[in-house]
Amino acid sequence: MNEIVLECRDVGHWFGSNRVLNEINLQVAAGQIVALVGPSGCGKSTLLRAILGTHPPKQGDILANGRKVTRPNRDVGIVYQNYSLYDFLTARDNVAFGLMLDETSLLTRCLKPFEYRKLRNVHREKAMAYLEKVGLAKAAHLFPAEMSGGMRQRVAIAQALIMEPQILLLDEPFGALDEATREELQLMLLRLYQENREAKQAGVKPPYTILIVTHELNEAIYVSDRVLGLSQYHEGGEQGATIVYDKAAPVFHPGDARNFEEFERQKDELRNAVFDPEQNQHHAEYVAFWQNLK
């Protein structure tokens, strides 16, 4: 039961003579939390923008939920590093914002204000539930300007999650946060993964599929169940970066101890396959996620 929610087919992208992405082939199944790592400037953000649909790739196709992505739409969610929230809405209304946009239209809100009011209360209740999930129920009435970076990022995550997107993209979401907040948010991702596993056991489609870009190898291995390496250090790398690493990562329960020493073997492998400029050999042995699964 591996429903593919995101697929990249031979995706390539370039800016003038600067070839950034080349022959990216990728499938992500529902319920996976995939970490994407790679050297700085290799094109991780470019790939995310292509999947999001704001900057479609110059070559190849990207399918979300089986449909070709040509512009940003509600199948693909996004959380930016700079915790972009709507300044004019409180935390609760920021989270409820997507429900309002998605389930009502400007016209119906104007023409049927009373029905909309009822619906809005439903939306707000649901938003409160999501705020609780990210541990922010107390801050529901605060405006973004009154929140700390970590709080804003949690609101941004709840805002994206409430839409139940087919896939949620996180571009270095915890990059600007302090260590303690980072750990809390990593735990939050593990709890989401826990929900995925419970759903799988119950035989329903797991609710959260996440693609997370990070600079931190420990974080990548810790929060994900699958690590992707994007790099230009491979055979034919002058044509652009491609997927050079794709393997499962150990799965943690939220309560487990964070013992990063266990990660050393995989980190070494990643450094070797993804971050080493001398590594120009075949990388096929590292792209083994689906084979290993079988």
Partner 1 sequence: MLVGQPIPLTQRILLGATCILLLIGAYTIWSETLSYRKREEVANKLPPLKSELQTIEAQLASNPDDSDLVQAKQDLQDRISRVERDVLAAKDRRVPTWKTLYTDGLLRVTEGQGLKKNEYWLWEDSKATASRLISGMLAGVVLSLGLGILMGAYSPIEAFFLPTLSFLAKIPPTAMLVVFFILVGVGEDMYVTMIVFGMLPTLAIAVFQSAKKDVPESLIYKAYTLGGSDAELIWNVIFKQILPRMIDAVRLQLGPAMVLLVAAEWMVAGEGFGYRLRLFYQRTDMSVPYLYLMILGVAGLTMDYMLIFFRRYLCPWFGE
Ligand X SMILES: Nc1ncnc2c1ncn2[C@@H]1O[C@H](COP(=O)(O)OP(=O)(O)OP(=O)(O)O)[C@@H](O)[C@H]1O
Give the C-alpha separation, 195 to 201, whole Å.
Answer: 10
Based on the shown chain and the rule CB under 8 A, indicate whether residue 134 belongs to the binding site for partner 1.
Answer: no
* 241: DSSP letter: B
Task: Using DSSP bridges, classify how beta strands 167-171 and 210-213 pair: parallel, antiparallel or unpaired.
Answer: parallel
Amino acid at 125: E
Based on the shown chain and the rule CB under 6 A, indicate whether residue 212 belongs to the binding site for ligand X.
Answer: no
Based on the shown chain and the rule CB under 6 A, indicate whether residue 40 belongs to the binding site for ligand X.
Answer: yes
Based on the shown chain and the rule CB under 8 A, indicate whether residue 1 belongs to the binding site for partner 1.
Answer: no
Based on the shown chain and the rule CB under 6 A, indicate whether residue 36 belongs to the binding site for ligand X.
Answer: no
Q: Indicate which single residue of 27, 45, 65, 73 sits in contact with Mg ion (rule: CB under 5 A).
A: 45
Q: Indicate which single residue of 10, 67, 70, 82 sits in contact with partner 1 (rule: CB under 8 A).
A: 82
Which residue has 């050079």 as its token pair? Answer: 244
Stretch that binds Mg ion, among 1-9, 43-51, 113-121, 154-162 (CB under 5 A): 43-51
Phi, psi at residue 39, to the nearest 5°?
-60, 155
Which of the listed partners (partner 1, Mg ion, ligand X, none) does 165 bind, with a CB threshold of 5 to 8 Å by partner kind?
partner 1
By beta-carbon proximity to partner 1, the closer residue of 20 and 163 is: 163
Burial class, 126, CB count within 10 angstroms (exposed 0-12 / middle 13-18 / buried 19+) = middle
Based on the shown chain and the rule CB under 8 A, indicate whether residue 113 belongs to the binding site for partner 1.
Answer: no
| Count of CB atoms situated within 10 Å of the CB of 257 | 7
| Count of CB atoms situated within 10 Å of the CB of 261 | 6
Minimum distance, C-beta of residue 168 to partner 1, in the bound complex (Å): 9
By CB under 6 A, name the binding residues for ligand X: 15, 18, 20, 38, 40-46
